[in-house]
């Protein structure tokens, strides 16, 4: 087999007919596994976007058959003139592999035997704890596949997957139960991140605070139509007796419960060829299934991986010699006009607490706290990395950073949870155009809560998309003023816009910021750019009249 490669493409020529999956390695470190069943004897692929930043220097690319490790071909290539060897590792030097979601992560085969044993041990403990909670746990996904096929964890996987079979059939009851399960697991000491109502991820950190591995916990249930469901992917025809009573599978010496008919389960989860190892296998959830599960259980993690990577990466910069704070300001330069406008606007805000919704690394929160020493600034975000960066950079005791997820109705409870009393103000810098309409509905509500509390609300956004806008990069998204006006009116709100001058790029001169009168024609420079706009939010007159200032139980019903 021949290999050709540039920094953009990888071409594999004369692939053996029997090969279903190949492992691509740089200097013997696996970086990517590819399901090649869909291709002919020759294929040219783009290097995945997430790998491209690492394609620097030279390496020996080798391609092996994933099933038996047979070397199919190798070749020395230079991606660039840089003298170093190409390295795809994290900041600890641990090799990273492209996972089934197209993201880079640490695969189990790169973890030590000790860590793998720990994952199995922790999975066993978790199964016991779920049983103690009165649930019916069993292993699913790659953990079940590895156990059935080889009696061990899949080397190409990156976590353990455990589900519990709910007794409920109604999605609302299943979600409600899952919220309680999540709280019970948190009470047991687990660090938990919710991707949806029924998909929880338990995070396990090392002594340095870095995440070593995950265990995913899912709810599974039979819906009223008789189908088995395990969001986010599994949905298919399965009889109760194919599920219960549970059978057993082994991972090393550990015994785990499994569906009675593992063949049926794995066929629904993967396909009828689940016995053939395809490390590059990509789960292809039917759109109607995704739509159903997203509706029933939400997408609490919508774009969160992006933001975690965005703020995680900014924190590791420093080659320029600049401080981490300066580096972050540089990375967030595109939002500077909105930041400055919100600072000047919030100068007139008088509530004792100001909430910075979608605070990111907290640049604006800190500036707002410095501007007015007497007020408490509460920065809120759903990205763990963003909140960590914000807390690291904040020396100011009047600035707090807390988790809030605008894809959840629970976000409305933030005031009670974080001790915010009336009145409070809200600002949001380039949040609304980057969260989608589901998140926006709760952002509008929080702004309305601020206004009803006697506070004020303002936000900034881009009215034009970036030239290379994509679905996967929300920083390029935009909103039009007409759409915002229409949305605001649905929440009984009015919006007043002000066009903001774009910041001049740092290398071409100092940042010049000025509010442009909204009635003036938009300058040519503004037309060419992203068109940052500031927006002041007010209660529409009818809302002011209709909403009581003091809440009472509201009589009998």
User: Tokens at residue 557, please?
Assistant: 């019903």
Q: How far is the CB of 171 from other proteins (least distance, A)?
A: 4
Q: How far is the CB of 151 from other proteins (least distance, A)?
A: 38
Q: Nearer to other proteins by C-beta: 170 or 470?
A: 170
Q: Nearer to other proteins by C-beta: 179 or 214?
A: 179
Q: Nearer to other proteins by C-beta: 179 or 418?
A: 179
Burial level of 187, CB count in 10 A (0-12/13-18/19+)?
exposed
3-state SS of 325-339? HHHHHHHCHHHHHHH
Q: Nearer to other proteins by C-beta: 79 or 444?
A: 444
Contact 226, 235 (CB under 8 A): no
List Cα–Cα distances, 385 to 197, 202, 241, 309, 509, in angstroms: 21, 16, 44, 8, 31
Q: Could you give the CA distance from residue 273 to residue 363 in angstroms, rounded to a whole number?
A: 51
Q: Nearer to other proteins by C-beta: 18 or 551?
A: 551
Q: How far is the CB of 553 from other proteins (least distance, A)?
A: 12
Q: Nearer to other proteins by C-beta: 134 or 206?
A: 134
Please, which residues have CB within 8 angstroms of residue 269's CB and are 6 or more apart in sequence? 140, 141, 144, 145, 230, 233, 234
Beta pairing partners, 367:
none
Tell me which DSSP letter residue 294 carries.
H
Tell me which DSSP letter residue 187 carries.
H
Q: How far is the CB of 180 from other proteins (least distance, A)?
A: 8
Q: Could you give the CA distance from residue 506 to residue 222 in angstroms, rounded to a whole number?
A: 57
Structure-derived torsion over alpha carbons of residues 58, 60, 65, 66, reported in degrees to the nearest 10? -60
User: Tokens at residue 292, please?
Assistant: 């159903």
Q: Nearer to other proteins by C-beta: 265 or 296?
A: 296
Contact 232, 290 (CB under 8 A): yes
SS3 content of the chain, % helix, strand, coil (to 5): 35, 25, 40
Q: Nearer to other proteins by C-beta: 173 or 496?
A: 173
Q: How far is the CB of 172 from other proteins (least distance, A)?
A: 4
Provide the binding-site residues for other proteins, judged by CB under 8 A. 170-173, 175-176, 179-180, 197, 291-292, 295-298, 408-410, 413, 416
Please report how many Cα atoms fall inside a 13 Å half-sphere around the Cα of residue 341, on the Cβ side: 29
Q: Could you give the CA distance from residue 403 to residue 91 in angstroms, rounded to a whole number?
A: 25
Q: How far is the CB of 493 from other proteins (least distance, A)?
A: 20
- Around Cβ 318, how many Cβ atoms within 10 Å? 11
Q: How far is the CB of 290 from other proteins (least distance, A)?
A: 12
Q: How far is the CB of 292 from other proteins (least distance, A)?
A: 7
Q: Nearer to other proteins by C-beta: 180 or 250?
A: 180
Q: Could you give the CA distance from residue 73 to residue 71 in angstroms, rounded to a whole number?
A: 6
Q: How far is the CB of 410 from other proteins (least distance, A)?
A: 6
Contact 148, 248 (CB under 8 A): no
Q: Nearer to other proteins by C-beta: 339 or 408?
A: 408
3-state SS of 188-232? CCCEEEEEECCEEEEEEECCCCCEEEEEEEEEEEECCCCEEEECC
Which helix H or strand E contains 450, and what residues bound it?
helix 436-452
Q: Could you give the CA distance from residue 373 to residue 242 in angstroms, rounded to a whole number?
A: 64
Q: Nearer to other proteins by C-beta: 292 or 403?
A: 292
Q: How far is the CB of 198 from other proteins (least distance, A)?
A: 10
Q: How far is the CB of 296 from other proteins (least distance, A)?
A: 5
């Amino acid at each position: 087999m021949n290999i050709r490669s540039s920094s953009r493409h990888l071409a594999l020529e004369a692939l053996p007919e029997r090969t279903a999956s190949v492992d691509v390695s740089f200097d013997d470190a696996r970086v990517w596994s590819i399901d090649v069943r869909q291709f002919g004897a020759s294929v040219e692929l783009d290097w995945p976007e997430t790998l491209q930043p690492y394609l620097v220097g030279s390496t020996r690319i080798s391609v092996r058959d994933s099933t038996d490790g047979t070397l199919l071909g190798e070749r020395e290539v230079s991606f660039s003139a840089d003298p170093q060897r190409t390295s795809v590792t994290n900041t600890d030097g641990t090799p990273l592999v492209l996972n089934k979601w197209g993201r880079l992560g640490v695969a189990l085969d790169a973890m030590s035997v000790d860590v793998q044993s720990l994952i199995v041990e922790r999975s066993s403990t978790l199964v016991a704890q779920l049983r103690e909670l009165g649930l019916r746990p069993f292993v699913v996904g790659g953990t079940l596949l590895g156990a059935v096929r080889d009696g061990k964890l899949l080397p190409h996987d990156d976590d353990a997957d455990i589900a519990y079979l709910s007794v409920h059939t109604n999605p609302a009851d299943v979600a409600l139960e899952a919220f309680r399960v999540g709280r019970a697991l948190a009470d047991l000491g687990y660090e938990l991140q919710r991707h949806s109502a029924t998909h929880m991820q338990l995070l396990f950190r090392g002594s340095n605070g870095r995440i070593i591995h995950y265990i995913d916990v899912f709810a599974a249930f039979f819906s009223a139509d008789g189908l088995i469901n395990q969001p986010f992917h599994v949905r298919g025809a399965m009889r109760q007796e194919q599920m219960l009573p549970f059978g057993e599978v082994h991972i090393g010496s550990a015994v785990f419960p499994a569906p009675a008919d593992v063949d049926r389960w794995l066929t629904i989860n993967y396909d009828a060829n689940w016995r053939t190892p395809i490390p590059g296998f990509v789960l292809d959830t039917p759109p109607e299934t995704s739509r159903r599960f997203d509706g029933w259980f939400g997408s609490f993690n919508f774009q969160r991986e992006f933001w975690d990577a965005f703020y995680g990466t900014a924190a590791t910069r420093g080659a320029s010699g600049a401080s981490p704070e300066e580096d972050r300001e540089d990375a967030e330069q595109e939002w500077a006009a909105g930041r400055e406008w919100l600072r000047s606007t919030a100068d007139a805000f008088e509530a004792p607490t100001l909430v910075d919704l979608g605070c990111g690394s907290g640049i604006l929160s800190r500036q707002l706290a410095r501007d007015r020493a007497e007020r408490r600034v509460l920065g809120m975000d759903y990205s763990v990395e963003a909140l960590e960066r914000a807390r690291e950079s904040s020396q100011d005791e009047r600035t707090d950073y807390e988790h809030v997820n605008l894809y959840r109705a629970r976000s409305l409870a933030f005031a009670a949870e974080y001790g915010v009393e009336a009145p409070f103000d809200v600002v949001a810098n380039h949040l609304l155009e980057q969260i989608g309409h589901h998140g926006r509905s709760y952002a509008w509500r929080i702004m309305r809560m601020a206004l009803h509390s006697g506070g004020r609300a303002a936000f900034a956004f881009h009215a034009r998309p970036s030239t290379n806008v994509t679905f996967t990069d929300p920083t390029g998204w935009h909103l039009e003023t007409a759409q915002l006006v229409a949305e605001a009116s649905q929440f009984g709100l009015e919006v007043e816009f002000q066009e903001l001058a774009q910041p001049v790029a740092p290398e071409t001169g100092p940042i010049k910021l000025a509010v442009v009168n909204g009635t003036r024609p938009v300058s040519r420079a503004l037309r060419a750019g992203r068109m940052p706009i500031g927006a002041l939010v007010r209660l529409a007159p009818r809302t002011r009249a209709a909403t009581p200032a003091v809440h009472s139980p509201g009589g009998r019903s």
